[in-house]
Structure 1
Amino acid sequence: MNTNWIIETKLCPPQLWRDLIVRRRLDGEFLRWRQSKLGLIIAPAGYGKTSLLAEWCERWSQEGAHVAWLSLDDNDSELLRLMSYLIAAISNAGVRLGRLEMAARQGLADTLTDAAFASLINQLAECKQDVVVVLDDYHRVQSAEADKLLDAFIASAPDHVHVFISGRERPKIIHATYRARDQLIEVGSDALKFTDTEARDLLGPAISAAVLDGLIHQTEGWAVALQLAKLWCEDRHDAAAPKAADLLWSGNVADYFAEQILFELEPSLQEFLLKTSILERFNADLANSICGRGDCGQILSSLHKLHALIFPLDRDQCWFRCHHLFSDFLKRTLEKERPQSIPTLHGAASEWFEKEGFLVEAVEHAKAAGDTVRAAGVVLSAGGWRLIIEYGVGIASSLLQQFTAEEVRRFPRLQICQAYHCMKTGDIARAHRLLEELEPLRAHGGREADAATLRDYEHVSGLLHRYEDLPMNFAELARTREKLKSADENDPGDLAVRLTEACLQPLVLGDIEPAQAASSEAIRRLQASGQVLPLNYCYFHLGLAQYHALNLNEAEATISEARALAEENYGSDSGLKNIADGLLGVMRAERDDMGAAENFLSSSLSYIERHDSWLEIFAPVYQASASVAYCAEGHEAVLAVLARGEMTAQRRNLDRLQTLMLAERGRWLAYFGALAEAGAVLSDDRLAFSVGAWREDPFQWRRHHAVGMARLCLQLAERRPDGAREIIDDLEAAAERGGRAYDAAQARIFRALFSYAAKDEINGAAQLLKVLSIAAPQNARRLFLEMPLEIEDLLRVCRQQSKLRASGSFLRSFIEDLLEAGRLRRMRLKTHKRLDLLSAREREVMSELSNGARNKEIARVLDMTENTVKFHLKNIFAKLGVENRAEAVAVARERSLTA
């Protein structure tokens, strides 16, 4: 298959003929190009807009500019396609765009349009030469999104980038600004009309003066009509100009001449022109397929005398197109004289384009033939939903947009493809609806569907289950492993899906050692089969498994390898790279390298919230983002990140993420000392904790651990050791069962802290030293830095015990680093603008309360009712964990919580 779906001939201006009449009277406009941001060449069809721009392109190139040309057509209204072509055109002009060019030639597969746009503008800024971007036939683009993109491009591009647009109507973009700044060049139909002198130069001296005057009068300077008239006259040296009556009967002077020219050609040439009129572009081989003959190369050579109407689109003169007006005339003639042949011609074109790997054009012609069955067949024969696995979402978007919703539903496998496309672009709800409609296929035992449809349905439904984070168990994992044994090694798509499921599902169940083994096997087999996209995902799964196993060094190396793979194959702005960046942000946060973590996480989080992601990515990225927010801005920033996670959970209907974010909120509030509020959060029924629940429902391991950790944090802060040991034992047992060394380490740290709180310093230090000895080689700092503050005292005891035991200095160095990092965190937080648990209005109430004001006085000063004051006081008491005004004032003064 031809995955480079860019049509190269759209990136080249038509080749100029030697006898082109150069309109030097427009030189004044041309000479202003360096000072202009925008040029508009607007006129009806046939006025020579393209010829003028092609001539100017040669002159711009001679003056040292990079000249990017893009011929637009009706399919370029789709934003991703237009953006891809714009990037390809600029790259084709010689501007270095790095991997962005590769991403564009893959249809910006797995790449955010915003990110690609920003990258393009930045790369243009680095280019030191003038860049001229020509968008020819912009009237064919009918899209508000396209207009918005073009507006943004012109406004954002550096001053040495100049955009010239041709079209039959003024584009719906903002151009008054550029006119006001004298940065706009406008050329209209009046300026493009041939003057009498230019018309005489074009028609030549061989035509008699009388005929010449008549033709100039009748064509009124219309370029294409003059060119047609010239061709008409070449074999009629002394013929009279056509009569006015003939022109009136024709209704169009250009049609009159076109008809005269066409029907005086040999029948074989007429047939060639009429049949190829259905094509936007053609070459000899395509024309042979359309016309059912083998001599179209010779025919093309014999049409040199129609050079004003048929343009070569490349320097090698392999591809051609007709002048649009002449093409329109030929199409109308074909529809009038041979309407029954049109579907057959489009069908032949569709077959040729499919054979050559141009899937988008193959579907276009099948649809034009009225053959929706064939159009769907082109997509499905190329792999259907597996196209997205192999080549990303770009080409799938271009194919699927050609079908209406009703047409998609006629073909179950096409509907499955649409569902997977929705999953990859973040529209999980629509994907669910599309697959739910197909549930009867499976319910009826496959009687209504073939094996390929059932297989596709099974694969994509399984993937949707993971995007929706639906419950699963070990029995389902066992079935997946059995299916993997029977996977078809000769079917790369089938193998890729089963391998990916086999390494993701143990992760979902928190079974880490099998997850690592399955991921390593999947990577080996996918490397052998060349499946790059699923290979990237399996690297993510392996990295996450290594992270849970507290092997941070390997995890970061694995994720870095995944990031390099994503960037090499899909570009620097790809979705895969954004996921990799998010996971690298997690790794850097674990090392307390918060600056690097923030750089990785800032753009990644926005991407995964809107596009391709699943719970195993969301959970660690939100947790790490909360840590970064705390170090950068303090308490309120943490709660904002967690609220953001809750919104994502609600939008995507992810129950586990919802409860995880609530549990994290409770843990952080306890860490801040907002004990009453933490208690209120943890009293939510969704955060109920039951010892041993993980044995009955292993799918809930993540929620179980997070809720247990939050409760331990609150109990330690409240000095309530009752029941803590039972929770710790349970969390540790769950973690050991799943091979989750990271979770086990957290539980053991709390065991040490509770021992220390019970005045058993030696035992607490011994327990913590065991965790430190495991964490130190991995430089795992966040494990300790986000524990209750008592850990710093216990770390000092550990440092002393380490000296007494004559332990290695590496461990003591790690302890020193932790103590210093904790001190630096506190210092940073003190320098921040005060952000606390009280809202701005609550701080104002607290200030008046601290001054001894009564409710009525507070209400008058702050323009509130007394009931509103009482409402605020109730919230303040709950947040501060106090019961009366005096206690509130004392706590507020201690924590500097007044306005």
Structure 2
Amino acid sequence: MTTEGPRLKLVSTATQAVHEGARASPLAAKLNPPMPTAFEIVRAEVGEKIFNAGSARLVLLRAPAGFGKTTVMLQVRHRFEEAGLPTAWLTLDRADNDVGRFLTVLAAALEPLVPGLARARAAPAGNLEELAFSVIDHVAAHPAPFALFLDDFEALQNPVALGMVNELIDQLPRGAQLIVGSRGAPELSLGRLRARGRLLEVEPAQLRFSVGEAEGFLRERRRLVLETEDIVRLHRSTEGWAAALWLASVSLEHRDDPGQFIAGFTGSNAAVVDYLVEDVLARQTEDVRGFLLRSSVLTVLNASLCNLVCRREDSAAMLRSLEQAHLFLIPLQPEGSGYRYHGMFAEFLRALLLRQYPDEVPGLHRSAARWFLGEGRPVPAIEHALAAGEVSTALPLLNEHAQALLDQGRMRLLSRWLDPLLECGLLDEHPMLQVVHAWAVCFARGPLAAAPLLERLEQRADPSEEVKAHRLAMKPLLMVLTDRTDEATELASALLGALPTHVSFVRGFLEIILANLAMIAGHYHEALRYADAARSHQPEHRSSFNFTLSEAAEAAVDLTQGRLRKALARLRLAVNAGTHDGGRTTNGNAMAGVLFAEALFEADQLEQAERLLAVYIPLIRHVGIPDQLILAHVVMARIVQDQGDADHALQLLAELEHLGHRDGLPRVVAGARLERVRMLVTEGRLGRARAEIDHCGDKALWARVSRSSLRANEVETLALTHARWAVQAGHAAEVVAELRAELDVAERAQRERRALTLRLVLAQAQYKLGERNRAMRLLAKAVCFGAAEGYVRAFLVEGPLLLVMLQDLRSGPTDLLDADGGAPIAFLDRLLRAPVAPLPQPTVAGAVLPPASAIDALTKKELQVLRLVAEGFSNDQIGERMFVAETTIRTHLRNINVKLDTRNRMEAVQVARRAGWLA
């Protein structure tokens, strides 16, 4: 129990030092844990389980409100500190769904544990990616274990913030843990952590009080005189629910016949709460009841705010009295200068307030709005004004601050505020707010959700050129985002000429749309011209949103034309745009971020690409932009497949296919299926690959794609996928002519990235047909190009046959590679060092037969890894036993698969067992 009673200070020395100067700020309320109550009992069994879960990176306490999660966390934290383990605490709330705020409070919580984060927090506002990666980098590099406690985790719903927590868990140093308290199962990678033995789950059944714990609580802590059978009966009726036991104890303090009260104490948890809270509330004075009910509209309580809302002068004394009476008041800071109600109690109070005094509710919110306005805090002021129905107060504030909030990326907040106002017709006279609402919905929920809002805007007369410009610019944007690029091009070109010159933001945005459309059409010089124009039309306070997208558009052209090094430089600038600009837009950076991840993957910088995608994939799943969806999921699938996790790769592709069906995007569905075919072909599973090709989309879709330079299908098309299959299936002669024609078209159109892969597939076809010299010339040209621009993965994703050809090229004369001071030869050697599975060999009884010399090829450490895998240990557990990093174990497993000609760890074990290598 943590919500009532005298508070005892329980803050680590390190945390104390950081918070000395911060206690007057709202941040301190989140970093200081609740004070333990005088009545809590030691939860020895569950505490011991958590204390000894050293191999778990995540400890999840999941239970409804009132099950004692916070109490257990506080006790475990105290025990950690006694053992010398540094700890930190962060209480989350709904406002933390703003990504910038979440990163700031997370960095503040970690600051006393991880040196260097103070400088990261001091970075200019709005540079979200820099702060995110700085936090992760500092944590990953930290040499010592620690424990970070995250309470009220159910408040965190933003997929980007949850993705960052996932990444934080993955990068924790050895021995470090996150201890999370949540009412529900959070959207974290629980399945993956569970499979790897890195998750400890503490569920309601483990948090329920035993009969002995209930007896200790009621008799020893609450000093109640109760018969044993009454305690057993109360325990049975509450099912060991801590909050119900506490509430019963409060009521029992004033009962002359506790047995009679306990005998009638039955019902579901909700009924128990209602019954007990009403019983407790009924025993308070009218003055106390009135204060509790009226102040329940506030999420944070302080004397000044309560005085104004409750129309009294003694709120400070009342708050202290309520705390002393253990009436569900939780101090936010050790000094008691701010409070909040226990969530369950606050919900009950608000419901009761609406039943008993419905006419007072608007006035209470109105007073709160006035107080926050006086404090210069427009966001809670707007929140309370809207709750009060004070549209006349809220609308001027929205008109003043909505565009700034849009620039800050507060999309969900704006959507929640403006959705009901639009439905009620209250935005009819505020067209600019309708425009802001449409933008917010587009970037928060995607183009399909924004389309009806745009239609509504089109039905009204435009009162200003600015509103008209915004409205007109959104239409081609929605077309592009829903894969209707042919329609968008003509419309966007006409609009640009008609735009007034002073609407610089909209003009720049429209030029970015045209840059992307020109690139899709293959007009690369025109695309670069539009991107340059967009940068030159930045408003006075340069919009990093437009800047990011213009840089991304130019980088996309660089990637298409094969300039990987230049694209990487430009995309680094794009995703870090806004260092001196607090108005960054996370969605814009997500669009650039996916391109950056693709470029990093091509350059074989897999770790950084994976980290980017871990942040951006949750966001783009909700927005639903075809090229970003396909690229992000395909690249991430290739990364995890390279790590030996084929199941995870297939899951990502299944999710991509589902998103395509959900949003009616056939190209997205086909993109998932094309990548599955590539995986099957490289694994030699040609029958299944052939069947999958038949489900990869209709002819009309691919005819349209073939006329365009779409980012996600710049390389991966149905024709290329079929050609890969045909080469490996023995039908190379059927596709050689088509591949040569496609290569000629790509070269003439300066689509060098596409030409690179076409060369590789054509070279494989010629090699299969016995035309070795032609194949080697093509392959050498591809190697020289790859060496010049740093393309690595274009070679490695083609599978084992290309590896054989690369070895053949390297073992022969080097005349074809003697260029640029030997760079192509060095690049070729790098490719040959990369672990790529060889071609499958014949099987016996369903298992691949290893070469006779395979066991001799395995090193002692690889054999040790294989034996530990056979015993059922996860990669992390094997790393701990062998005293090496998990990444080293992954490398060993990749080498084992190459040497044994297997596709995954379990198949390698099967092969080793059949060969008699494992006892």
Relative to the length of structure 1, the TM-score reads 0.57
Match of 1:776 in 2: 787
Shift of 1:432: 1.9
Native 8 Å contact 1:582 1:621 kept in 2 = yes
Distance 1:119 1:811 in 2: 41
Offset of residue 821 of structure 1: 3.7
Partner in structure 1 of residue 461 of structure 2: 447
Q: How far does the alpha carbon of each residue in 1:294-335 deviate from its partner, in whole angstroms, 9 at most, with x for none?
A: xx9x86688899685899855677656799999999999999
Is the 2:732–2:768 Cα contact (8 Å) retained in structure 1?
no
What is the CA–CA distance in structure 2 between the aligned matches of 1:670 and 1:115, rounded to whole Å? Answer: 32
Q: 1:511 to 1:391 in 2, by over 3 A?
A: same
Pick one of 258, 261, 269 that aligns with 2:285. 258
Mapped partners of 1:466, 1:360: distance in 2: 33
Higher mean Cα deviation, 642-651 or 403-412?
403-412
What is residue 837 of structure 2 aligned with on the other side? Answer: 828
Residue 490 of structure 2 corresponds to which residue in structure 1?
A: 475
- The equivalent residue for 1:544 is 556
Retained in 2: the 8 A contact 1:84–1:108?
Answer: no
In 2, the alpha carbon distance for the partners of 1:41 and 1:627 equals: 39
Match of 2:699?
A: 685
Change (3 A) 1:119 1:127: farther
Cα deviation code 1:436-470 (max 9, x no counterpart): 2651431x3x3288777655544554443333122
1:833 Cα deviation after fit: 10
CA distance 1:175–1:579, shift in 2 (3 Å): same
Equivalent residue for 2:602?
Answer: 590
Q: Which whole-Å CA distance do the structure 2 matches of 1:335 and 1:637 have between them?
A: 48
Do 1:225 and 1:253's aligned partners in 2 also have CA atoms closer than 8 Å?
no
Task: Give the percent of matched residue pairs that are identical in Structure 1 and Structure 2.
Answer: 17
**Residues 320-353 of structure 1: CA deviation (Å, up to 9, x unaligned):** 6799999999999999999866534422422443
Q: Is the 8 A contact 1:781 1:818 kept in 2?
A: no
After superposition, the CA RMSD in angstroms is 7.2
Aligned-pair distance for 1:757?
10
Q: Which residue of 2 aligns with 1:555?
A: 567
Q: Give 3-state SS (helix, strand or coil) of 1:828's partner.
A: coil
Whether 1:651 aligns to 2:670 is: no
Q: Relative to structure 2, which stretch is displaced further, 593-602 or 514-523? A: 593-602
Letter matched to residue 387 of structure 1: L
- Alignment TM-score, normalising by the size of structure 2: 0.56
How far has the Cα of 1:813 moved from its partner? 4.9
Name the amino acid aligned to 1:686: A
Deviations 1:694-730 (A, max 9, x none): 4xx7779957993564577659812566676655444
Relative distance call for 1:114 and 1:506 in structure 2 (3 A) is same
2:385 maps to which of 366, 371, 376: 366
Q: Where does 1:335-734 land on structure 2 (aligned, <5 Å)?
A: 343-354=362-373, 356=375, 358=377, 361-371=380-390, 378-379=397-398, 381-383=400-402, 387-393=405-411, 395-396=413-414, 399=417, 423-424=442-443, 428=446, 431-433=447-449, 435-436=451-452, 438-442=454-458, 444=459, 446-447=460-461, 457-472=471-486, 474-479=489-494, 481-482=496-497, 486=501, 488-489=503-504, 494=506, 497-498=509-510, 500-516=512-528, 518-519=530-531, 529=541, 531-532=543-544, 535-562=547-574, 583=595, 586-591=598-603, 593=604, 599=610, 603=614, 607=618, 610-612=621-623, 614-621=625-632, 624=635, 646-658=657-669, 685-686=699-700, 694=707, 702=713, 706=717, 709=720, 717-718=732-733, 727-733=742-748
Whole-angstrom CA distance in 1 between matches of 2:807 and 2:843: 29
| 1:174 counterpart letter in structure 2 | E
**Residue in structure 2 matching 1:810, options 820, 824, 827:** 820
Q: After superposition, give the CA deviation of every residue in 1:130-156 in whole Å (9 maximum; x if it has no partner).
A: x999x8xxxxxxxxx833349999x99
1:176 to 205, 221, 235: 205
Aligned to 1:246: none
Mean CA deviation greater in 760-769 or 415-424: 760-769
- Partner AA of 2:563 in structure 1: N
SS of the residue corresponding to residue 717 of structure 2 reads helix
Aligned position for 2:906 = none
Given that 1:346 and 1:369 are in contact with CA atoms closer than 8 Å, whether structure 2 keeps it comes out as: yes
Shift of 1:486: 2.8
Distance 2:779 2:92 in 1: 68
Q: State the Cα deviation string for residues 471-521 of structure 1 (Å, max 9, x = none).
A: 2354344346547873545xx6x5774465354443443433444455466
8 Å contact 2:77–2:87 — kept in the other structure? no
CA offsets 1:25-48 (integer angstroms, 9 cap, x no match): x5864999964868999999xxxx
Q: List runs of 5+ in structure 1 lacking aligned partners.
A: 17-21, 136-144, 164-172, 197-218, 227-250, 263-269, 842-898
Mapped to 1, the partners of 2:680 and 2:69 lie a distance apart of: 66
Give the counterpart letter for 2:452 in structure 1.
E
Tell me: CA distance 1:754–1:10, structure 2 relative to 1, closer, same or farther (3 Å): closer
Q: Distance in 2 between matches of 1:93 and 1:704?
A: 44
Q: Could you tell me which amino acid in structure 1 is paired with residue 660 of structure 2?
A: A
Structure 1 residues 796, 400: CA separation in 2 closer, same or farther (over 3 Å shift)?
Answer: same
Label 1:43 to 1:668 Cα distance change in 2 as closer, same or farther (>3 A): closer
Alpha carbons 2:293, 2:350 under 8 Å: kept: yes
Deviation at 1:407, TM superposition (A): 5.3
Q: CA deviation at 1:814?
A: 1.4
C-alpha separation between the residues in 1 aligned to 2:463 and 2:104?
42
> Which letter does structure 2 place at the counterpart of 1:654?
L
Cα offset, 1:777, TM superposition: 1.4
Which AA in structure 1 matches 2:717? A
C-alpha separation between the residues in 2 aligned to 1:150 and 1:701?
A: 27
What's the offset of the Cα at 1:778?
1.0
From the CA coordinates, give the structure whose radius of gyration is larger. 1
Spell out the pairing of 1:21-420 with structure 2 (5 A cutoff): 26=39, 29=42, 35=48, 68=89, 70=91, 91=109, 111-112=159-160, 114-118=162-166, 146-149=183-186, 174-178=203-207, 193=222, 258-259=285-286, 279-281=298-300, 286=305, 314=333, 319=338, 343-354=362-373, 356=375, 358=377, 361-371=380-390, 378-379=397-398, 381-383=400-402, 387-393=405-411, 395-396=413-414, 399=417
TM-aligned CA deviation for residue 390 of structure 1: 1.8
- Is the CA contact 2:472–2:495 (under 8 Å) kept in the aligned structure 1? no
Instruction: Judge which range, 28-37 or 580-589, deviates more.
Output: 28-37
Cα displacement (A) at 1:803: 3.3
Is it true that 1:742 corresponds to 2:753 in the alignment?
yes
In 1, the alpha carbon distance for the partners of 2:156 and 2:28 equals: 16
Alpha-carbon distance in 2 for matches of 1:51, 1:646: 40
Aligned equivalents of 1:576, 1:496: Cα separation in 2: 14
Q: Tell me which residue corresponds to 1:891.
A: none
Alpha-carbon deviations, 1:527-554, whole Å to 9, x = none?
9836455555555434333211211112
Range that drifts further, 299-308 or 389-398:
299-308
The count of corresponding residues between Structure 1 and Structure 2 is 718
Residues 726-775 of structure 1 show CA distances to partners (whole Å, capped at 9, x for unaligned) of: 55444444x23xxx332355567789999999999999988877666544
Deviation readout 1:234-282 (Å, 9 max, x if unpaired)? xxxxxxxxxxxxxxxxx989767734799xxxxxxx9x99987754545
For 2:631 and 2:656, how far apart are their aligned partners in 1?
Answer: 11
Asked if the contact 1:194/1:223 (under 8 Å) is kept, the reply is no
Provide the rounded CA distance (Å) in 1 between the counterparts of 2:342 and 2:693.
Answer: 76
CA contact (8 A) 2:64 2:204 kept: no
Query: Residues 282 and 406 (structure 1 numbering): CA distance in 2 closer, same or farther, change over 3 Å?
Result: same
